[in-house]
Structure 1
Amino acid sequence: MTEETALTRDIAKRHRAFFVPHVALGQARLGKPIAMLAAAVRSVLQSWRIMWRERPAAVITTGAGSSYFPVLFARMLGAKIVLIDSFARFNGPSAFARIAAPLAHIRVAQSQEAGRNWPGAQVFDPFRRLEKMRPEKERLVFATVGATLPFDRLVKLVDQAKRQGLLPEKVILQTGQPLKTEVDPSIEVRDAIPFDQVGEILARADIVICHGGTGSIITALQQGCRVIAVPRSYTRGEHYDDHQWEIARAFAGRGLLTMVGDDDDIAGALASARATEPVCATLAPDALIGELKAVMHKWEDDESARQHGFRRLL
């Protein structure tokens, strides 16, 4: 169960999937409380219907507002809950993690600091640098705003850089929705790009200019791209909070990307990125997956023992 995006549509081609509405407390902060409440009502109805029909024995969730009602109803119906907080939360638990924590049987943080600030959490840090050779690159820049919210400022920065001659390479710009303003005609504009095609573009792109979302950053680093992150700003009305600044600063502190700050200095960021030796990195959750398998086997054995004892009583 998830929200519908390019990535999740790709997943749904291979696995049974249910899409539920996007719900976030930040929608109210951005002046859209009616939209938030309407989405919440739809999510409640759809989530209950799905959980009542499916009756999962266990739920593993990474959070976000769209997950709260499925987790709540699954717990009410007797499911075990594993709550894995987003890798995007380096310094402490997300709002979802704090709200849903009482429902969880197991809590997992993905950084040491976040674990210290979330009582009762186990810590599994999946971040890994890769020693593999960087793929052969073309003179190509890929700019993406992600799949959840529009991001006009990033679009304008890319257009500005192209018009000023700072991006002599071919530029592909993924905008998430149709543009309301014109950009340099040499920029190839795409509203949405299937996830498999994004992978093909990243394999060829030398530079990636993206918002501060973990998914966009990590998929670019997996392909050895030079990454420039433009984190969305809450004060500018671009996101529900400033967690993308936390993400971008954490990756920049590890020497993995160049960050565009409040000054919108895209020229400086491009010069810095071009002078930086690119690195390859990924998320490798093998240890966490192993722990989850062990937990699921234990719960299965406990349930079998309980059922066996019940039959003996009868």
Structure 2
Amino acid sequence: MILVLCGTQKQDFTRLIRLVEQVANREEIIIQAGHNHYETDKMKLFSFIPNDEMEKLYQQASLIVTHAGAGSILQGVKNHKKIIAVPRLKKYHEHVNDHQIELATKLEQLGCILTYQDGEDFISLYEKAKTFNPLPFNQKGNIEGLIDQSLEKYLK
């Protein structure tokens, strides 16, 4: 099962839902769509999922495809899950800045996650994820510190 997390931002992020719909015929897909409105009979969409249910879904998922929000990625890394992060982009009005690119890129460089690059073939990345073995986050310090560093310049 693929767990898809669009985040809680009110800006539209149906781009993520359209990407994962490309592989809906291969695996069950459960989406926490947040404030996004999307019609499909190929995937199970929920606006928001209670925390206790979400924890179970994280455990059951073979792959997490998520916006590149710190909380969603951190939860996946802590659960030792394969993660494809799809950063929300300012140019598509999905966020107010591009801080998600920086965080996702850094975690991909460390071998913890895979990151979707705008315009990339999602199906190829999905296939790559099947054999991807994420490294645990073991940099000196901790993942929360990395997140703080990545966000710091946007908060000034």
Q: TM-score range by the shorter chain?
A: 0.7 to 0.9
**Are 1:177 and 2:35 counterparts?**
yes
Any gaps of 5 or more consecutive residues in structure 1? 1-139, 286-314
Whether contact under 8 Å (2:85, 2:113) holds in the other structure is: yes
Aligned with residue 131 of structure 2, among 275, 289, 292: 275
Q: CA RMSD in A?
A: 1.9
Aligned equivalent of 2:149: none
Contact (CA 8 Å) 2:9, 2:35: kept in 1 or not?
no
Residue 13 of structure 2 contacts residue 36 of structure 2 at CA under 8 Å; is this kept in 1? no
Matched, 1:254 2:115: no
Q: Aligned runs of 1:137-152 on 2, under 5 Å?
A: 140-149=1-10, 150-152=12-14
The alignment's TM-score, normalised by the length of structure 1, stands at: 0.42
Residue correspondence of structure 1 range 146-225 to structure 2 within 5 A: 146-149=7-10, 150-162=12-24, 165=25, 168-177=26-35, 179=37, 181-183=38-40, 185-225=41-81
Once the two structures are superposed, residues 172-206 of structure 1 have per-residue CA deviations (whole angstroms, 9 ceiling, x without a partner) of 01100362x422x2311111011222111101111
Amino acid at match of 1:160: Q
Instruction: Look up the SS of the partner of 2:4 in the other structure.
Output: strand
What residue in structure 1 maps to residue 153 of structure 2? Answer: none
What does the per-residue CA deviation read over 1:245-271, in whole Å, with 9 as the maximum and x for residues that have no partner?
001100000011111111142112112
* Identity over aligned pairs, percent: 27
- TM-score under structure 2 length normalisation: 0.81
CA displacement, residues 59-85 of structure 1 (integer Å, 9 cap, x when unaligned): xxxxxxxxxxxxxxxxxxxxxxxxxxx
Does the CA-based 8 Å contact 2:74-2:143 persist in structure 1? no
Q: Highest Rg: 1 or 2?
A: 1
| Number of the residue aligned with 2:152 | none
3-state secondary structure, aligned to 2:92: coil
Query: Does the Cα contact within 8 Å between 2:137 and 2:143 map onto a contact in 1?
Result: no
Residue type of the alignment partner of 1:158: V
Determine helix, strand or coil for the equivalent of 1:228: strand
Structure number with higher relative contact order (C-alpha < 8 Å, ≥ 6 residues apart): 2
Checking the alignment, whether the CA contact within 8 Å between 1:225 and 1:279 is kept in structure 2 is no
Q: Which ranges of structure 2 fall in alignment gaps of 5 or more residues?
A: 145-156
- Count of residues in Structure 1 that have an aligned counterpart in Structure 2: 140
Cα distance change of structure 1 residues 169 and 280 upon mapping to structure 2, 3 Å threshold: farther
Q: Structure 1 residues 264 and 284 mapped into 2: Cα distance closer, same or farther (>3 Å)?
A: closer
Deviations 1:31-58 (A, max 9, x none): xxxxxxxxxxxxxxxxxxxxxxxxxxxx
Could you tell me whether the CA contact under 8 Å between 1:223 and 1:280 is conserved in 2?
no
Q: What aligned pairs does 1:67-82 form with structure 2 within 5 A after superposition?
A: none
Distance 1:235 1:192, change over 3 A: same
